[in-house]
Every structure is written in structure tokens, then in C-alpha cells.
Structure 1
Amino acid sequence: MSSVATFEKPIRPTVPPDWLANIRELGQSSQNQQATSFELRHGGRQLRNETGIRTEWDTYHNDLRLEDRVAELSRWKTVLQQCLGAITDEIVQLKDEKAETERKLESMATALNVVAECLSLRDCRQGTDRVQDDAYSELKKELTVLDSLKNLLTNKCHAAWEQLNRLEEVEFKLQVAVENKERAISLDEENLKLDKNCSGISYKPDPLRIPPNCTPYETWLAQSQDDKLKADNEITASNKLREVLYVARERCRNDLKAQHDSTNYMLRRRIYEIRRAKSELEWQRHKTIDEMKKLMKEIEDLKEALEVKTNSLKLAETRLENRMFRSGAELVEDEGQISLKDEVLHLRQTRQDLIDKISAAKGTYNSLENVVVRLDADLANKNHALLTDEHCLDIRERLHAKEQETSATQTDRNIELSRMEHAIPKS
């Protein structure tokens, strides 16, 4: 029996071979884990180096791309801003041309009123002087020319209004495009200022999502080019339209001036013809009145002669009647009786001739008097027609005054269009 009490676990003890095997297994496991750890450390270092380098280069390349994008946006912004400035200037110039054309169109209302007033005045002429002469034809032609030129300028103003709408539409699109590019440039410049150490960076919910209105780069480039092309086309069209407006106004001015001169010439010619006819009629009236005076004196002389012949007839008839009372054989048809009978017959015929002549003279006098009345009426018509045409010429002076008012402005306009304002010395 042992003198020392021992306590053993109720577990089977490990035998030496197992112990040795366990030691070898632990060693092998340690070596395997060390190898695995080495591989992991080597792979981690390589991954860190590769990802660090790639991240640096990706950041560098993205910064370069953002800088290029900012430069491209700035270049397109500059191009579109130049187009916007040109569009704005073109809108101002086209508005000026349109306003000038509208003023010309408004000034034509004065010409229309003048022509209508002249036609109304000349329509008040009386008698045979209410004639459709060359002046009337020129006034009607001037009215037709004014109407056609008014329609022409109205159409050109409408075309300018449509062109202004297109220019303003392009201007609005360019303003939006420039603002969008400024906003994009500002955003990309802010992105260029960011780095990995900034406090404003954070995870985002879905940074890889595609915005709904996102367009490909080719579409954006085509849109920018289309905006510039559309602006250039509208500027070119506006330049041509401004030239057309200027040509239309000049054509209107030249045509109206030519027609005004032609109408004024016809009115002056008509006034000359009326004055000449008036002078001729006044001369005829003077001669007719003189002839009436002479005829009246002749009628009075004929009446006196008739009175003398009447008394002579009474004398001859009285002698014949007295000789009827001879008595006896003395009641004879002697030469005295025959001579008295011949005298009575001759006096009767003479008296009848005088009466007929007096009647004819009175009829002629009445005819001359009617001619004088007609001459007076025609002279009154001539005076009225002369005053009317002279009044028409006075009225048409307003057209000449209107042209003088616009001549200085037109000269300044020509200087501005030819860009000679700096070459002409100031007075």
C-alpha cells in the first residue's frame, strides 16, 4: 500500500507517439499558417501598391479629363457668347430697321391723305372742267403706287417681325446654353478643387445612376454645333432681311419721288392749260361784249331808220289816200299816182326788211348774250378749277416738307450703314 495518495483524471493519458505526433502536427500547422500569412501580407502589400498607384493615376487622369472638359466648355461658352452677342446686336439693328420701315410706312399715310384730298378737291370741279385729264391719271397712278408700296413695306415689316421672333428664340436658347455651360464649368471647377482629404466628401446613395435627361457626348457636341450653326444662319438671314428692308425703303422713296414729281408736273401743266384757256375765254368775252355793244348801237340805228321809214310810209300812204278824193276826170292814174304806189310798196318792203333785220339783230344779240353767260360760267369753272389745282399743289407741298424732314435722318442712316461715321470729320 502506497504511503502517498495520488489523484488522476479519469481520462486516458496520451502515449508518447501521440504526443510526438501532436508536436509535429502543431509545427506543421504553424508553418502552414505562417506561409498563408506571408502570402496574405505579400498579396495585401501588392494590392495596396497597385490600388494606390491606380487610384493616383485614375485621379490624375480624371483631373485632366475634368480640366479638358472645363476647357472645352469654356471654349464653347466663349463661342456661344460671341454668337449671343452677335444675335443681340442683330436684334437691335433689325428692330431699328423695322422701326425705320414702320416710320416710312406711317409717313405714307400722309401721302395717301394728300392724294385722296387732291382727288376729292378736283372732283368738286364743275362743268366741262370736271375732266379726267393727265393730272387725274397721275393722281390715280400715284394712289396705285402708294397702295402697292404700302403692301410691300407691310409684308417686309411682317417678315422682319417673324425674323425677330426667330432671333429672340435663338437668343433665348443661347442664353440657356451659356447658363448651363457656366453652371457645368462652375461644378467641374469645384470638383477639381476636391481631394480625398476634403471634409465635404461622403458616400452617396447611388452615384452610378444615370440621370433621366443625360445625353451622350456626341449628342451634346452636335447640339452645341447646331446652336452655333442656327445662330449663324439666323444672323445671315437677318443681315439679308435688313438689306431687303433698306432696299425696299429706298425703292419706295425713289418711286414715290418720281411719281410725286410726275404728278406735280401734270398739275402744273394743267394749271398752265387752264390759265391759257382762261385768258382765251376772257379775250373772247371781251370781244363778244364789244360786239354786243356795236350790235346794240346798230339795232338802235335800225330802229331809228325804221321810224323814219314808218313816217315816210305814212306820208306816202296819206298822199295816196288824199289823191283818192280827186273829182271828175282828175282822178287819173298819172305818174305821180304810180310813183306814190311804187314808193309805198318800196317803203313797205324796206320797213319789213328793217323789221326782219332788227329781229335778226336782236336774236344775234341774245345769242351773244347767251355766249357771254356761257363764257362767264365757264370762266367761273376755270377759276374754280385753277384754284383747285393750285390748292392741290399747295397741299402736295406737305410731301416735299416730309421728304426734307427725313433727308438728314436718311443721310445719317447711310453713314451708319457704310460705317463711315469715324471717317467723316465732325462739323
Structure 2
Amino acid sequence: MHRLAFQEKTIPYNGLVEQNLVIVPPVRPKYTPRDWDLNNRTKNIFSVNQQTLAERVICESERVIDETKFTTELNKNESDFRLKERISDIKFRLEELTKQKKDAHVEEEALKVYKQRTLDAIDTLKEIALPLCQKCIIMREMRQGVDLVCDDVDKELKRELGVINGSVELLHKLMDEGVEQLRKLRATIYLLDRDLSNKEKSIQIDEKNIELRSNQMGMKVYDGTVPLDPYNNTDPEWIKVTNANIENTAKEINSAQTLRSYIDQVLKQAAEDIRQQVERTNAAFSKRISEMRYTKIKLENVHKETMHQVNELTRNVTKLETEIAEKEGYVALAQMRMANRAHRPSLELCKDNVYDSLKREMAALRANISKLDQMVVQSRATLRYLLNTQVMQEEEINLKTSSLKIDEADCMTLRESLNFQNF
């Protein structure tokens, strides 16, 4: 399109006013028919092009709408399927965790029972077996004299004390191991509870997500502050953590079962060791009591014989004294005869056969009295020794009676309660 250019001579406005002239606007340019026709054809072509473009845009829009609708539904269905698949997977893991938790609780309760069994065994040994053994040792220290001997009973009692103390120490170690294993079980149960709680919450969230619809009331574009991609681990890591919880729980359950088996074996072995040692100690007591009773009976028989000998020796002393008294009467008689014959007159006072006989009688009497006196002294000394022996025998019998009372009446009566078949 061509425009006509006009050259105008500009006149200052102040000059026009001074000249009182009227201002006439410039003449507008005019177009040629060619310019008009060209302009119409150009506008027509432009309109047709825009219409064609609009039709293409509309067709493309419809295609894109159909494509996006299909893609959107496909993606939504895929997401729904993945959500259901995820829920199913979580529920499967949830069942496994629940089963492991149940097994862990069962094992925890079983381990508590074994812990209580161990504690009861320790209390029984410390409150019954140990005091009784110590009391038997203390009571046997009350034996007197030669009966205070380190015999087989003392040795077996010391062994019994060692077995009891060793069993108590071993059971205390088992208690510590049981407490530690219970702590580990409870720790795994805590981890299982936390994992179960998280998975239950995750199931609730995903089930709620499945129920959500794009056209429901209140649905709008997310405008919260929590990021939409807060993830810090991957699905394999999630599976690894869950499997690790299950494996750790199974491991602790297996450890607890092994520990329970060991505790049961130790309790049985401890009861068996103590029972065997108690039987050996009781056998030593029975043997010692039999020896003591045999010795006491033997001493009593000897004492009875000694008493008989004392009585016989007492009668013998009396008999000897009687004989001495009789012999003194004969001495007096012989002396009286000799004294009477000393009064014979004159030549009759001679050493005749009577004199010799009286002299021999006097000598024989003095010799016999001397023998009898020696026998009396010897008999009395023997009687004193025999009486001392009798007292010694009575003391020994009393010692044996006291020792028998300690071993048989006191110790063995106490030891009747030492009957441990099992803990």
C-alpha cells in the first residue's frame, strides 16, 4: 500500500494569530483500488489460515484430551493396582510380624517360667540346703574329746557344701543370662510392635487412598507444607528392615529356646549332683553311726565286765582283810602261848620242840600276813586303776552317746528334708 506524501510549509502559530487566519486540517491520504483489493485479499487469506489453524488445534485438543484421559485412567488404575498390591504385601509382612511377635511372647513367658524355676532353686539351696549343711557341720564341731575327728562324714559334708555353693553360683550366672535374654526378647518385641504399628498405619493410609476419588467433595490441589517426596529409603531397604526384624526375632527366640534347654539341663544336673552328694553324705553318716553304735555297745559290754571285776576285786580285798584279821588272831594266840610259856619255872624254861614250833608258826604267820598285806595293797591299787578305767569307760560311753545323738538324732533328722528330685 502506497501513501502520498505532501510537503507543507509550516507557519508559526503566533504568526497565524497575528494574521487572523483560520487553521484548516491537512488533507487525508487516499488509497487506490488496487490497494483496497490487495487489503481485502490479504485479510481473507489471513482469516482462512486462522480458521484452518483453529480446526487443527481443536482436532489436536480432542486427541490430547482422549489421550490424556486414557493415560490418566491407565495411570490411576496402575496406582490403584499398586496400592492394592502394596496393601497385600504389607498385610503379608504384617502377618509374619504378628506370628513372630506371638512366638516371641510365648517364648518370653516360657523363659519367665524358667527364670522363676532358677530363682526358686537358688532360694531352696540358699534357704534350706546350705543352712542345713552348715548346721550339720557346726553341730558336729560340738563333739567332745577323741570323737572330734575329721572323719568321712566331715569330708562329705565339706564336699556337699562345695557342691551347693557351686550350684548356687552357676544358677546365678544362669539367672543373669536369662535376664539378659529376656531383655533382648523384649527389645525385639518392641521393634516388632513399632514395625507393626507403622505398617498398620501405612495400611490405613493406603486403604484411604484407594477410596479417594478425583470428583469427590473437598478434593483440591495439595497446598500443605509437608513435601510430597519425603522418602529416605527404597522398597528393597524396607523389605530388608522388615526381614531383619523377623530374622532377629527368630534368632532371639532360638537363643531363648537354647537357653531354656540349657537351664533345664543345668537344673536337672544340679539336683542330681546334690542328690548324689546328699546320698553319699548320708551313707557316710550311716556308716559312722553304725561304727559309733558298735563301739558304744562294745564299750558298754567292757564297762559291764569292768564293773563285775570291780565288784569281784572289792570282795577280794574284803576277803584278804578278813584273812589278815584271822591271821592276826593266830599271831595273838601264838604270842600269848609264848608269853605264857615264858613264865615256866626254873629248868622248865627251855627251848623245846613247842618253842621251835611256835617260833616257826610265828614266822609263818608273819610271812603270810606280809603276803596278804601285799595282796591287799596290790588289790587296792588294781581296784583304783580299775575304777579309773571304769570312769574312763563311762566318759567314753557318754562321748559316744553324745556323738550318736549329734549324728543320728540331730543331723540325720535335719537331713530328712534334703530331698531334691528336681528343681
Task: Please give the TM-score of this superposition, normalised by the length of structure 2.
Answer: 0.86
C-alpha distance in 1 between matches for 2:62 and 2:319: 160
Moved more, 65-74 or 331-340: 331-340
Task: Report whether the alignment pairs 1:100 with 2:154.
Answer: no
Task: Report whether the alignment pairs 1:73 with 2:100.
Answer: no
Counterpart residue number, 2:262: 244
Counterpart residue number, 1:367: 385
Unaligned runs of at least 5 residues, structure 2:
1-23
Task: Report whether the alignment pairs 1:26 with 2:43.
Answer: yes
Taking structure 1 as reference, are residues 207 and 66 closer, same or farther at Cα in structure 2, changes over 3 Å only? farther
Summarize deviations over 1:344-371 as a string: whole Å, max 9, x none.
Answer: 4443333222222111111111111111
C-alpha distance in 2 between matches for 1:93 and 1:176: 23
Shift of the alpha carbon at 1:137? 2.1
Alignment-mate amino acid for residue 418 of structure 2: L
Taking structure 1 as reference, are residues 370 and 328 closer, same or farther at Cα in structure 2, changes over 3 Å only? same
Larger Cα-atom Rg = 2
Summarize deviations over 1:181-214 as a string: whole Å, max 9, x none.
Answer: 0000110010011121122432224675443x73
Task: Report whether the alignment pairs 1:178 with 2:196.
Answer: yes
Identify which of 369, 391, 396 aligns with 2:415.
396
Counterpart residue number, 2:18: none
Moved more, 153-162 or 70-79: 153-162
Taking structure 1 as reference, are residues 149 and 338 closer, same or farther at Cα in structure 2, changes over 3 Å only? same
Alignment-mate amino acid for residue 85 of structure 2: D
Summarize deviations over 1:51-80 as a string: whole Å, max 9, x none.
Answer: 222211111111111111111100000000
C-alpha distance in 2 between matches for 1:257 and 1:220: 55
Please give the secondary structure, in 2, of the residue aligned with 1:199. Answer: coil
Shift of the alpha carbon at 1:336? 4.9
Task: Please give the TM-score of this superposition, normalised by the length of structure 1.
Answer: 0.85
Please give the secondary structure, in 2, of the residue aligned with 1:144. Answer: helix
Taking structure 1 as reference, are residues 298 and 180 closer, same or farther at Cα in structure 2, changes over 3 Å only? same
Summarize deviations over 1:92-142 as a string: whole Å, max 9, x none.
Answer: 111111112221222223111221222222221222222222222222221
Say what the alpha-carbon RMSD is for the aligned residues.
Answer: 2.5
C-alpha distance in 2 between matches for 1:398 and 1:43: 102
C-alpha distance in 2 between matches for 1:325 and 1:129: 74
C-alpha distance in 2 between matches for 1:381 and 1:231: 66
Summarize deviations over 1:267-318 as a string: whole Å, max 9, x none.
Answer: 2222222221111111111110110011011111111222233343445456
Shift of the alpha carbon at 1:342? 4.2
Moved more, 111-120 or 41-50: 41-50
Counterpart residue number, 1:353: 371
Counterpart residue number, 1:46: 63
Identify which of 288, 309, 312 aligns with 2:330.
312
Alignment-mate amino acid for residue 34 of structure 2: P
Task: Report whether the alignment pairs 1:137 with 2:155.
Answer: yes
C-alpha distance in 1 between matches for 2:173 and 2:261: 15
Shift of the alpha carbon at 1:155? 1.5
Task: Report whether the alignment pairs 1:289 with 2:289.
Answer: no
Shift of the alpha carbon at 1:331? 6.7
Instruction: Report 1:275-286 matches (<5 A).
Output: 275-286=293-304
Alignment-mate amino acid for residue 167 of structure 2: L
Task: Report whether the alignment pairs 1:232 with 2:250.
Answer: yes
Shift of the alpha carbon at 1:265? 2.2
C-alpha distance in 1 between matches for 2:159 and 2:350: 93
C-alpha distance in 1 between matches for 2:57 and 2:178: 78
Shift of the alpha carbon at 1:319? 5.6
C-alpha distance in 2 between matches for 1:356 and 1:283: 31
Identify which of 149, 161, 165 aligns with 2:167.
149
Task: Report whether the alignment pairs 1:90 with 2:107.
Answer: yes
Identify which of 172, 180, 193 aligns with 1:162.
180
Summarize deviations over 1:395-425 as a string: whole Å, max 9, x none.
Answer: 122234x75xx7xxx8xxxxxxxxxxxxxxx
Counterpart residue number, 1:63: 80
C-alpha distance in 2 between matches for 1:317 and 1:216: 145
Shift of the alpha carbon at 1:390? 2.1
C-alpha distance in 2 between matches for 1:364 and 1:200: 130
Summarize deviations over 1:144-201 as a string: whole Å, max 9, x none.
Answer: 1111111222211221111111111111110111111000011001001112112243
Number of aligned residues: 397
Moved more, 67-76 or 391-400: 391-400
C-alpha distance in 1 between matches for 2:33 and 2:360: 217
C-alpha distance in 2 between matches for 1:375 and 1:215: 96
Taking structure 1 as reference, are residues 200 and 81 closer, same or farther at Cα in structure 2, changes over 3 Å only? farther
Unaligned runs of at least 5 residues, structure 1:
1-6, 411-427
Identity %: 27
